[in-house]
Chain A
Amino acid sequence: MTNTPDTASMVTAKSEAVQAFILHHMSDSRTWSWLPAGHEQLPAFLTLHGIMVIGSGILLIFCLAMACRRPTPVPHGWLNFVEFFVKYIRDDMAIPFLGEKDGRRLTPLFCSLFFYILVMNLVGLIPCFYTATANINVTLGLASITLFFMIAGTILRNGPIAFLKGFAPPGIPWYILILLVPVEFVGLFIRAAALAIRLFANEMAGHLVVFSLLGMLIVYGATALPISIMAVLVFIQEIFVAFLQAYIFTLLSAVFIGQRYHPAH
C-alpha cells in the first residue's frame, strides 16, 4: 500500500462503508443478509429482530420441551443444566426478594425472562443471525413486563391503597413527602427504563466492538490481522455477557417487583 491521496480516499471510503454496514447490521430492517452473499427480502409485516424474537421463543420452547419430555427422578443432560438455573432463580432470586409464597409463585415468570433473554442474546452471536436484545423496542417490551408486575401485580396483591402508600415511606415528614412521592413515582418508570437500556446498551456495545474490530481488517487489510485475535476474545466475552445480562435483568426484575410487593422492606 502506497501513501498517496488515492490510498487515503480509499481508506476513508472503506471506513464509511464499514460504518454503514455495521449500522445496517445493528439496526432493524426487512433485509436478511446471508453471508458471504445474498439478501432475503422479508415480508412487510416482519423485521429481522421480529423474526429473532419469534424464532428465539420457538427455539426455547422446542429445546425445553425436548429436555423435559422424559422426566426422571434424577435429571440428566440439558434438563440438569436447565434445572440448575431454575433452582438458582427460585432460591437465590425469587424467594429472597419476594418471600416464600410470592417467590415460588413468580419463579416461572423469572425463569421465562431469564431463558428468553439468554436465548435471544446467544442467537445473536451466531453468524448471519441478529441480536433482538440489541433492539431498544425488544428490551423496552421486556422491561414493561417487569413494570406491569410492579404496578398491576402490586395492586392485585396489596390493593390500590397499599400500592399508593408504597410511594410514601412511613415516618417521613409531609413536606419531604411532597418531593419524595413524585420522585418515587417517576423512579418506578426509571427503574424499568434502566432495565431496558442496560440490556440494550450491553448487547449492542458488544456487537459494535466485534464488528468494529473486524471492520479494521477490511479497512487496513493484513496489517490489522492481529486485531482478529482481539475480536475472537471479545466474541468469547460476549458469550459470558449474554449470560450475565440475562442474569442481571432477571435479578433486578425480582428486586424491583419485590420492592413494590413488600414496600416496608
Chain B
Amino acid sequence: MDETLQTQSVVEVSAHPEPAAEPSLVKVSGPMMALTWVTFAMVALILYKVAWKPILAALDMREQGIRRALEEAEKARKDALASEERNRILIQEAEQEARRIVSEARSAAEAGARQIREESERRARELSEETRRDIQAAAEQAREALRRETANMAIQLASRVIAANMDAAKNRDLVAEALKEIPRS
C-alpha cells in the first residue's frame, strides 16, 4: 500500500468521531454511572433468580449430601470397629469356653479311664479268685473221688483177698496182681 494513502486512511479513521467533543479518558459522566448502577442492579436481580439461587442451592444440597455421606461412613466405621471388638471378645470367650470344655473333657476322660481301670482290675481279681476257688473245689472233688475210688478198690481188693485167702503164696499172688491193676498216676 502506498504510504501516503495509508497515512490518509489512518488520519480519516482518527478524524471521523464527532469533532465537537474532545475525547477524554477520565471524563466523569453522571448518566454513565447511573446506567452502570441500573444495569448492574437488574443484572444482579435477574442472575439471583436464574443463576445464583439455583446454583447455591445445588451446592448446599451437594455439600449436605457429602457431609451426610461422610457422617454415615464415619458411623459405619465406628460400628465396624465396635463389631470387630465384639467379635474379638466373643472369640476370646469362645476360646476360653473351648479350653474349659477340653479341660473338663480331659478330666472326665481321665476319671473314666481310672474308673474303668480300677473296675477291670477289681473284676480281674474277682475272676482270678473265683477261678482259684473253682480249681480248689475241683481238686477237692477229685481228691474226694480218688479217695472214694481208692476205698472202693481197697474194699474190692479186700473182698478178693478174703475170698481167695487160701494160702500165703496165693495171697501174695493176689496182692501182686491187685497192685498191678492200680494205675501208677
Residue ranges of A at the interface with B (Cβ–Cβ < 8 Å):
1, 10, 13-14, 17-21, 23-24, 26-31, 33, 39, 47, 49-50, 53-54, 57, 60-61, 64-65, 67-68, 71, 73, 75, 79, 82-83, 86-87, 90, 104, 107-109, 111-113, 115-116, 134-138, 140-142, 144-145, 204, 218, 221
Q: Is the CB of B51 within 8 A of A65?
A: yes
Separation of A218 and B55 alpha carbons in the complex (Å) = 48
Contact A138 B43 (CB under 8 A): no
Q: How many residues of B contact A (CB 8 A)?
A: 44
Select which of A10, A107, A141 is within 8 A of B37 by beta carbon: A141
In B17-68, the 8 Å CB interface with A consists of: 17-18, 21, 23-29, 32-37, 39-40, 42-44, 46-48, 50-56, 58-59, 62
Q: Which residue in chain A gives the minimum CB-CB distance to B44? A: A112
Nearest CB in chain A to that of B63: its residue: A87
CA distance A1 to B13 in the complex (A): 24
Please report the C-alpha to C-alpha distance between residue A49 and residue B23 in the assembled complex, in whole angstroms: 13
Given A10-B3, A142-B40, also A18-B10 (CB < 8 A): yes
Kindly list chain B residues whose C-beta atoms are within 8 Å of the C-beta of A19.
Answer: 14
Residues B7 and A10 in contact, CB atoms below 8 Å apart: yes
Evaluate contact between A24 and B4: CB separation under 8 angstroms: no
| 15 residue pairs from A and B, CB less than 8 Å apart | A10-B3, A14-B10, A20-B15, A21-B13, A27-B24, A28-B29, A31-B18, A49-B32, A61-B46, A82-B55, A111-B51, A136-B28, A138-B32, A141-B35, A218-B10
Cβ contact of A53, chosen from B15, B36, B54, B58, cutoff 8 A = B36
